[in-house]
């Protein structure tokens, strides 16, 4: 919270716009020069590869050396720490699991900010608390660097095919510089507003997604128990006001649609633990901004419960199975 306050306070300052004007001109000459990449996990790895495919020399680092091997064989330079990467590259992309990792990679003892160059562009594609994004932006700004949040929607498949959607928050005059790099990894790059709004957009979409999915699962389950045929019910909902992405594109009931996780025992797709994590972020931002989110907070609790019942690694549409089992086993 404190970070949030400090963040908003500093970002209001005038000075930095001035500084940034300078930065832009510097980097504008720097295209196709080395780009740093921190975090080579399931998502980061294919993203970095797409950067290289587009001709950008990549300097990478990851806490797990083995995850760097593949990229190294493709010609990327691997360094020991984020600080070392920051020492060599003035454009850096980070893709990390959660807020504490981001705080450590940026502000830790071997963090990016230890050796960041004036005018550097730092793009974080992790999904984290917008308050932390603002905190990082403030810390970077103090060193004359620019931080932008650019979380993605779309999973490993979209990362591999370069079809991710990026929701970008930060200084508008830096958006084009960020877009130049993000376009190599995604099909859509949307500017959302000041720092943190990229995260906000991501969090909001996933909260509504979770509500729609659980709602669809409840509704389909109720309809089936009342004697309706699942396919017929889905058809009626989708031509009526109950229609939502979870009912017409990603239906959670086995047998209703082809090519979705529910047709494949909820394998693949978007894991329940990841949804629970995003709902936790939504919950925190709602509490911190005193925003009532009754359904969002109940959805959070439900995915939290599913994590423990063997659903952690199943697609989040398995909430249908979770609710369904109830009734099957229930006396």
Residues 144-173, interacting with a second copy (CB under 8 A): 153, 165, 167
Integer angstrom CA distances of residue 113 from 125, 162, 288: 17, 29, 27
Integer angstrom CA distances of residue 320 from 220, 250, 253: 8, 12, 7
Burial pattern 95-131, b for ≥16 Cβ within 10 A else e, equals: bbeebebbbebbebeebbbbbbeebbbbbbbbbbbbb
Q: Residue 9 or residue 69: which is nearer to a second copy going by CB?
A: 9
- Closest approach of Cβ 267 to a second copy, in Å? 17
The DSSP code sequence of 40-75 is: -STTHHHHHHHHHHTT--EEEE-SSGGGGHHHHHTT
104 within 8 A of 124, measured Cβ to Cβ: no
**231-290 binders of a second copy (CB under 8 A):** 232-233, 236-237, 239-247, 249-250, 273, 276, 280, 282-290
**1-20 binders of a second copy (CB under 8 A):** 1-2, 5
What is the distance of C-alpha 184 from the center of its chain? 17
**24-43 binders of a second copy (CB under 8 A):** none
**93-132 binders of a second copy (CB under 8 A):** 99-100, 103-104, 129-130, 132
What mask of x and - would describe binding to a second copy in positions 285 to 314, judged by CB under 8 A? Answer: xxxxxxxxxxxxxxxxxx-xx-xxxx-x--
Q: Residue 6 or residue 115: which is nearer to a second copy going by CB?
A: 6
Task: Judge whether 202 counts as a catalytic residue.
Answer: yes
48 within 8 A of 37, measured Cβ to Cβ: yes
- Closest approach of Cβ 281 to a second copy, in Å? 9
Q: Residue 145 or residue 306: which is nearer to a second copy going by CB?
A: 306
Q: Of the listed 202, 231, 235, 290, which one is catalytic?
A: 202
**50-89 binders of a second copy (CB under 8 A):** none
**180-239 binders of a second copy (CB under 8 A):** 188, 190, 192-194, 196-197, 200-201, 203-209, 211-212, 214-216, 218-223, 225-229, 232-233, 236-237, 239
Q: Residue 23 or residue 321: which is nearer to a second copy going by CB?
A: 321
- Closest approach of Cβ 118 to a second copy, in Å? 25
Show the tokens assigned to 1.
């919270």
Total residues in contact with a second copy, by rule CB under 8 A: 99
Does the protein bind a second copy through residue 329 (CB under 8 A)?
A: yes
- Assign 328 to helix, strand or coil: helix
Half-sphere exposure in the Cβ direction for 260 (13 Å, CA): 18
Q: Residue 15 or residue 330: which is nearer to a second copy going by CB?
A: 330
Counting every residue, how long is the chain? 331
- Closest approach of Cβ 321 to a second copy, in Å? 11
- Closest approach of Cβ 68 to a second copy, in Å? 24
Q: Residue 47 or residue 244: which is nearer to a second copy going by CB?
A: 244
CA angle 272, 276, 278 (to 5 degrees): 115
- Assign 19 to helix, strand or coil: helix
Strands 186-193 and 164-169: parallel
Q: Rounded distance, CA 51 to CA 59, Å?
A: 11
The residues annotated as belonging to the active site are: 202
């Amino acid at each position: 919270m404190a970070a949030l306050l400090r963040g908003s306070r500093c970002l209001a300052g005038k000075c930095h716009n001035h500084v940034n004007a300078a930065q832009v001109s510097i980097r504008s000459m720097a295209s196709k020069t080395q780009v740093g990449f921190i975090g080579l996990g399931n998502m980061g790895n294919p993203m970095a590869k797409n950067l290289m495919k587009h001709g950008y020399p990549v300097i990478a680092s990851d806490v797990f050396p083995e995850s760097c091997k593949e990229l190294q064989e493709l010609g990327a330079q691997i360094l020991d720490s984020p600080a070392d990467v920051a020492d060599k590259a003035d454009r850096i992309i980070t893709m990390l699991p959660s807020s504490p990792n981001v705080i450590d990679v940026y502000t830790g003892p071997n963090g990016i900010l230890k050796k960041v160059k004036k005018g550097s562009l730092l793009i974080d594609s992790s999904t984290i608390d917008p308050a932390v994004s603002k905190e990082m932006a403030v810390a970077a700004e103090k060193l004359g660097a620019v931080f932008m949040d650019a979380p993605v929607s779309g999973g490993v498949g979209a990362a591999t095919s370069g079809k991710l959607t990026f929701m970008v928050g930060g200084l508008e005059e830096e958006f084009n510089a960020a877009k130049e790099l993000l376009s190599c990894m995604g099909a859509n790059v949307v500017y959302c507003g000041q720092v943190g709004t990229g995260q906000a957009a991501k969090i909001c979409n996933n909260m509504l997604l979770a509500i729609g999915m659980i709602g669809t699962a409840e509704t389909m389950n109720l309809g089936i128990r009342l004697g309706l045929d699942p396919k017929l019910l889905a058809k009626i909902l989708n031509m009526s006001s109950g229609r939502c992405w979870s009912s017409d594109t990603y239906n959670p009931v086995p047998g209703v649609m082809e090519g979705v996780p529910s047709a494949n025992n909820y394998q693949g797709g978007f894991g329940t633990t990841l949804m629970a994590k995003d709902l936790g972020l939504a919950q925190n931002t709602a509490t911190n901004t005193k925003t009532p989110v009754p359904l969002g907070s109940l959805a959070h609790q439900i995915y939290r419960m599913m994590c423990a019942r063997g659903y952690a690694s199943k697609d989040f549409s398995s909430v249908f199975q979770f609710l369904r089992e109830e009734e099957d086993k229930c006396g």
